[in-house]
Chains A and B, each alone.
Chain A
């Protein structure tokens, strides 16, 4: 066998250009597949870090609507009405989905469950603006602080469990806007947030009644607003592994957030209702515990997405992406298989006499076939090595640039090469090449030595 291997290698050496060109076809496939695998590794590692930074593994998302568990397109079909249903817009097409919300009663019920450690309803606070004395007003988004999603700090300290009452975590974008000298300077200073109470039915009714009496009402219904002073506890910045594409929200103490939410929703049907709540399960870091808790919650008619499920959803997305790119690589490899078949047929034709001689001298047809299969194997292996090497060199040299361009953060490489994977790939390509060489090899094996030696 060793003799056959060296002989196969030798005959390739004699047809260097042909061998190399055929190998290059395989190399393109190997290149694509290596990059795909490396990118898959990188993205997976990145998302793992992303999830670790953005989600508390013990925390599940709990709601009353099955959309909570839906990872695909939302269900927009009509549902039975219930006072807790709210309309949530999604996508850019003006579409909205009707979602059954959690109520204060539900939150209370959840809090009382023995396996629940903490419940954080999602307060969507419609704040008007943020400012401070002598400065312009700016828009903002407000949220209750969740220790499971610690932002990076630029100045000050991010609290362990919750922001102190009356304090706020200010995103670094506001430092300049609100004219602080520096992030450090902002810490401990007061910012003002103005929230507004919506028109209630009574004020509107009053207004309508008034306008019926006098066609030109003298008093416009006045919007009730409230300004809250908050002390900056820390200046936050968006981490490299932050999930949200939008900016960081201002982060508040849970009770502050609740009272603001109540203020801004009082009198509307949104009052005391929440799209979902983050529920921390005792010992929920453990998959089994989280799943058991989910089961219990489902019995109470809640819909639950555990942190693990969320992770899987993101992982699935990465997998699909990788498969898509991988398909291109596979197609390239398939195309190059025909290249190998062609090359091997030419090689058999070219060496008819050599095959005839070897068979006349008593070489078995099977050995002759292996001679050609191994020749194909060499082509596959050379192609695989060239492609993988090319991908590796390119990947390693481009990684810093990619990291910078996509602002993945220091130490995050998009392309992570795994030696075992690459070796596996090369082995697979070698086997593919052997399979591609099967028919030409059979032709060589079946050659009649008398006929072959007659060729002058």
Chain B
């Protein structure tokens, strides 16, 4: 469960203060899929950064699995990200000169998973995104869709409790994008990890259990689909 309580994020000082997020609160149940929807500059990326522990709020708290990550020291926060969070980016950010295997190995190395158990987990993750036969291929030789699937494998290899996907289909054509989406929702259901998608793609947002619409740093609307009962809401 992710509880966002009265998050405010401001940049700059005094006269030049810019408020990126203004008193945002909502709760995401564990295992849900959430879309944070908004135009660029709306504050949706800032919200994702704060939720994932990449950035700290100016005020307010983020409680993930009963732990307030806004209070964590940087070392504990790094550990939190290494163990609980998976990231998927619009621009993939796979290491072009490394093989698929080496790419997927990175989060395990950071989380200090013993060498012996890595190989199996990497193979498993690659298998799940159907890239097993590309294990020894350098990432630069992959197509866009394959790269994003590789990024997904990298995000899921450490079995995170939350996966953040920042415009995961933004750089892909609709056919490959759909395949990536399908994978993401599959893992959301299969692994039970919470999926947070940042997007301005209304179609993608609709597929999520929960849609949080953001404009100028404030939540304008929260839509919840059928079974999901969400607490909180716009102020």
Q: Is A358 an interface residue when CB atoms closer than 8 A count as contact?
A: yes
Closest to B55 in A: A450
Q: Is A10 an interface residue when CB atoms closer than 8 A count as contact?
A: yes
Q: How far is the CA of A7 from the CA of B102 in the complex (A)?
A: 9
Q: What sequence of 0s and 1s flags, for each residue 296-307 of chain A, a beta carbon within 8 Å of any chain B beta carbon?
A: 000000000000
Q: Are B98 and A10 in contact (CB under 8 A)?
A: yes
Q: What sequence of 0s and 1s flags, for each residue 62-104 of chain B, a beta carbon within 8 Å of any chain A beta carbon?
A: 0000000000001100111111010101010101011000100
Q: Which residues of chain B have C-beta atoms less than 8 A from A244's C-beta?
A: none
Q: How far is the CA of A450 from the CA of B80 in the complex (A)?
A: 17
Q: How far is the CA of A81 from the CA of B3 in the complex (A)?
A: 105
Q: Are A453 and B89 in contact (CB under 8 A)?
A: yes
Q: Which residues of chain B have C-beta atoms less than 8 A from A359's C-beta?
A: 78
Q: Are A362 and B97 in contact (CB under 8 A)?
A: no
Q: Which residues of chain A have C-beta atoms less than 8 A from B81's C-beta?
A: 360-362
The number of chain A residues touching the other chain, given as a range, is 20 to 34
Q: A347 to chain B: closest CB distance in Å? A: 13
Q: Is B159 an interface residue when CB atoms closer than 8 A count as contact?
A: no
Q: For B110, give its contact among A354, A356, A362 (CB under 8 Å).
A: A362
Q: How far is the CA of A131 from the CA of B218 in the complex (A)?
A: 118
Q: For B93, give its contact among A3, A357, A365, A450 (CB under 8 Å).
A: A357
Closest to B52 in A: A360
Q: Are B83 and A354 in contact (CB under 8 A)?
A: no
Q: How far is the CA of A456 from the CA of B82 in the complex (A)?
A: 24
Q: What sequence of 0s and 1s flags, for each residue 93-120 of chain B, a beta carbon within 8 Å of any chain A beta carbon?
A: 1010110001000110111000000000
Q: How far is the CA of A358 from the CA of B81 in the complex (A)?
A: 11
Q: Are A362 and B98 in contact (CB under 8 A)?
A: no
* Known contacts A3-B109, A10-B102, A450-B54, A364 near B75 by CB under 8 Å: yes
Q: A315 to chain B: closest CB distance in Å? A: 53
Q: Are A361 and B106 in contact (CB under 8 A)?
A: yes
Q: Which residues of chain A have C-beta atoms less than 8 A from B49's C-beta?
A: 450
Q: Which residues of chain A have C-beta atoms less than 8 A from B95's C-beta?
A: 354
Q: B16 to chain A: closest CB distance in Å? A: 18
Q: A1 to chain B: closest CB distance in Å? A: 10
Q: Are B110 and A358 in contact (CB under 8 A)?
A: yes
Closest to A452 in B: B93
Q: Are B110 and A449 in contact (CB under 8 A)?
A: no
Q: Is A208 an interface residue when CB atoms closer than 8 A count as contact?
A: no
Q: Which residues of chain B have C-beta atoms less than 8 A from A453's C-beta?
A: 89, 93
Q: How far is the CA of A3 from the CA of B74 in the complex (A)?
A: 22
Q: Is A294 an interface residue when CB atoms closer than 8 A count as contact?
A: no
Q: Are B54 and A361 in contact (CB under 8 A)?
A: no
Closest to B155 in A: A361
Closest to B75 in A: A364
Q: Which residues of chain A have C-beta atoms less than 8 A from B74's C-beta?
A: 365
Q: Are B110 and A363 in contact (CB under 8 A)?
A: yes
Q: What sequence of 0s and 1s flags, for each residue 29-69 of chain B, a beta carbon within 8 Å of any chain A beta carbon?
A: 00000000000000000000100001100000000000000
Q: Are A362 and B78 in contact (CB under 8 A)?
A: yes
Q: Are B111 and A362 in contact (CB under 8 A)?
A: yes
Q: For A362, give its contact among B83, B91, B93 (CB under 8 Å).
A: B83
Q: Is A77 an interface residue when CB atoms closer than 8 A count as contact?
A: no
Q: Is A353 an interface residue when CB atoms closer than 8 A count as contact?
A: yes
Interface residues of A in 1-53 (CB under 8 A from B): 3, 7, 10, 14
Q: Which residues of chain B have C-beta atoms less than 8 A from A361's C-beta?
A: 81-82, 87, 106-107, 110
Q: Are B82 and A362 in contact (CB under 8 A)?
A: yes
Q: Are A456 and B54 in contact (CB under 8 A)?
A: no
Q: How far is the CA of A357 from the CA of B110 in the complex (A)?
A: 11
Q: Which residues of chain A have C-beta atoms less than 8 A from B55's C-beta?
A: 450
Q: Which of A357, A365, A367, A450 has its CB near the most chain B CB atoms (within 10 A)?
A: A357
Q: How far is the CA of A106 from the CA of B110 in the complex (A)?
A: 84
Q: B210 to chain A: closest CB distance in Å? A: 24
Q: How far is the CA of A7 from the CA of B91 in the complex (A)?
A: 22
Closest to B98 in A: A10
Q: How far is the CA of A370 from the CA of B145 in the complex (A)?
A: 33
Closest to A363 in B: B110
Q: How far is the CA of A456 from the CA of B90 in the complex (A)?
A: 10
Q: What sequence of 0s and 1s flags, for each residue 174-204 of chain B, a beta carbon within 8 Å of any chain A beta carbon?
A: 0000000000000000000000000000000
Q: Which residues of chain A have C-beta atoms less than 8 A from B85's C-beta?
A: 362
Q: Which residues of chain A have C-beta atoms less than 8 A from B75's C-beta?
A: 364
Q: A60 to chain B: closest CB distance in Å? A: 68
Q: Are A362 and B109 in contact (CB under 8 A)?
A: no
Q: What sequence of 0s and 1s flags, for each residue 156-176 of chain A, a beta carbon within 8 Å of any chain B beta carbon?
A: 000000000000000000000
Q: For B87, give its contact among A10, A360, A363, A365 (CB under 8 Å).
A: A360
Q: B229 to chain A: closest CB distance in Å? A: 32
Q: B97 to chain A: closest CB distance in Å? A: 4
Closest to A367 in B: B110
Q: A255 to chain B: closest CB distance in Å? A: 85
Q: B14 to chain A: closest CB distance in Å? A: 22
Q: Which of B75, B80, B110 has its CB near the most chain A CB atoms (within 10 A)?
A: B110
* Interface residue ranges, B against A (CB under 8 Å): 49, 54-55, 74-75, 78-83, 85, 87, 89, 91, 93, 95, 97-98, 102, 106-107, 109-111
Apart from A367-B110, A450-B54: 19 A-B pairs, beta carbons within 8 A? A3-B109, A7-B109, A353-B93, A354-B95, A357-B106, A358-B106, A359-B78, A361-B81, A361-B82, A361-B107, A361-B110, A362-B78, A362-B81, A362-B83, A362-B110, A363-B82, A365-B74, A453-B93, A456-B91
What are 28 contact pairs spanning A and B, CB under 8 A? Answer: A7-B109, A10-B102, A14-B97, A354-B93, A354-B95, A356-B93, A357-B87, A357-B93, A358-B106, A359-B78, A360-B81, A360-B87, A361-B106, A361-B107, A362-B78, A362-B80, A362-B81, A362-B82, A362-B83, A362-B110, A363-B78, A363-B110, A365-B74, A367-B110, A450-B54, A450-B55, A453-B93, A456-B91
